[in-house]
Amino acid sequence: MEKTIQTQNGPEENKKRLQEIAGMQFGALSDDEILRFLAERKHLFDREREYEKIQEEEAIRLEQKKKEEENLKRAEKKKSAIMQKIDGLNESISPDKKDDDLLNLIAERKALEKELEALEKKTVLTEEKDTSVAYPHPQIEREASLKQNTPEKELPTGIPEEKKNSVSSVEQKRKIFVPEDRGVEGINDAGIEENSEFQTYLSQLRGNTGSLGELLQGMPLRAKKNKAFMLKVAEIDPAYAMHYADNETLKHDEDFNFRIASLDNPRNSGNPLVEMLPEGRTSKVLLAAVKRDYHNVRFIQPALENYDEILALAKKSVLERVKDLKEAVDVTVIVPRLLQQDKQFMLQVSEMIEPKKEK
């Protein structure tokens, strides 16, 4: 007696098949047939647990997404209220006010700006996570069955080699990080060809900057590894480009980090240095970042080989900024906290400010 063993069913079919096996009279079967049905039953039980796990993960993901959306809405509402208050303070800060009143208004505005900055950091999307997948559509399930029934080294018809390689290796890469993957050889640095998929992605991003994070999160890994493509993304928003760049390749590429650190952020969505790996903030990268904005001096560490050079550059930029300002200087805003610890430098700043107060 021979029966075809069904191995690729949906959840309902699995349950029916388990009921069929439970109703069989094993005594009338041969040893080989019994072993085959026991193996099938184990396989079906494993698949049933897998479906349950997937459904639980999807429910958790949806709940988390719902909470994040609610938090984002609350944060946006609060940001709008703070910005209105700042606009009101800007109108109130005028030359006809007394010095004490002006200082109080400036202090209040500064507190609001700090609160706004903290809210903006919270709204930046968290590090990319592997999204859970809900129970597959029947068509997807049939494709999965085809893959499982295909010998390991045989390619299913119509599926490109690149896709097979990415599917077969993704789980291994998630579990084991190979240091060699950090090298330049692991980074796709090819140019973006006309009419390529990367050109299509760029067009989508440029036309939907309000959904930049959502679009980048959904992009394939090969896009996040492509140096030329991610540098084009950085021209739109360097903070988002740094955030979504591949952790195992691009974020370890000093040239990539250097180029992003050199870019201004036209959208003011955040500081790309915050999104960099700590080991990615090398001397070369931080020197470029401080040249662009001296406030980035807060990221430097004494162990850097050009620590003194970067510090001197930041101080020079601060003094130039103080000199250029024609109104009262709020030292706590102008001078980064790290430089405020240098008493001799702060004395130099004070000497530049004092003559202005006397006038």
pLDDT, the chain, mean? 76
pLDDT number for residue 195: 64
pLDDT of residue 263: 95
pLDDT the model gives residue 234: 94
Instruction: Determine the residue type at 341.
Output: Q
Measured CA to CA, the distance from residue 52 to residue 134 in angstroms comes to 10
Highest mean pLDDT out of 4-8, 111-115, 281-285, 352-356: 281-285
- What is the average per-residue pLDDT within 192-210? 83
What is the average pLDDT across 150-162?
A: 37
- Per-residue pLDDT at 11: 76
For position 173, what pLDDT does the model report? Answer: 34
Confidence of residue 141 (pLDDT cuts 50, 70, 90): very low
Give percent above pLDDT 70 in the chain.
74
How many C-alpha atoms does 23 have within 13 Å on its Cβ side?
A: 6
What is the identity of the amino acid at 355?
P
Q: If we measure between CA atoms, which residue out of 138, 96, 86 comes closest to residue 117?
A: 86
Percent of the chain clearing pLDDT 90 (strictly above): 28
Q: Are 1 and 29 in contact (CB under 8 A)?
A: yes
pLDDT for residue 331: 78
Q: pLDDT class for 279, splitting at 50, 70, 90?
A: very high
More confident site: 56 or 311: 311
Question: Which pLDDT belongs to residue 44?
Answer: 83
Q: What's the pLDDT at 297?
A: 93
236-260 tens-digit pLDDT:
999 999 999 999 999 999 999 999 9
Produce one character per residue of 100-118: b if its CB has 16 or more CB atoms within 10 Å, e if not.
Answer: eebeebbeebeebeeebee
pLDDT in tens, 291-322: 999 999 999 999 998 999 999 999 999 999 88
Q: What is the pLDDT of residue 85?
A: 85
Please state the rounded mean pLDDT for residues 210-231.
Answer: 91
CA 117 – CA 120 distance, rounded (Å): 5
Question: What's the rounded mean pLDDT across residues 337-344?
Answer: 90
For the entire predicted model, the pTM comes to 0.48
Looking at mean pLDDT, say which of 62-71, 202-211, 345-354 comes out highest: 202-211
Instruction: List C-alpha distances in Å: 133 to 56, 137, 142, 145, 325.
Output: 10, 11, 16, 17, 55
Task: Break the chain into its structural domains and give their ranges.
Answer: 11-123, 197-358
Please give the average per-residue pLDDT across 333-350, as a whole number: 89
Residue 48: pLDDT above 90? no
Of 114-118, 146-150, 177-181, the range with the lowest mean pLDDT is 177-181
Least-confidence region, from 162-171, 295-304, 321-330: 162-171
pLDDT at 123: 62
Per-residue pLDDT for 269 more than 70? yes
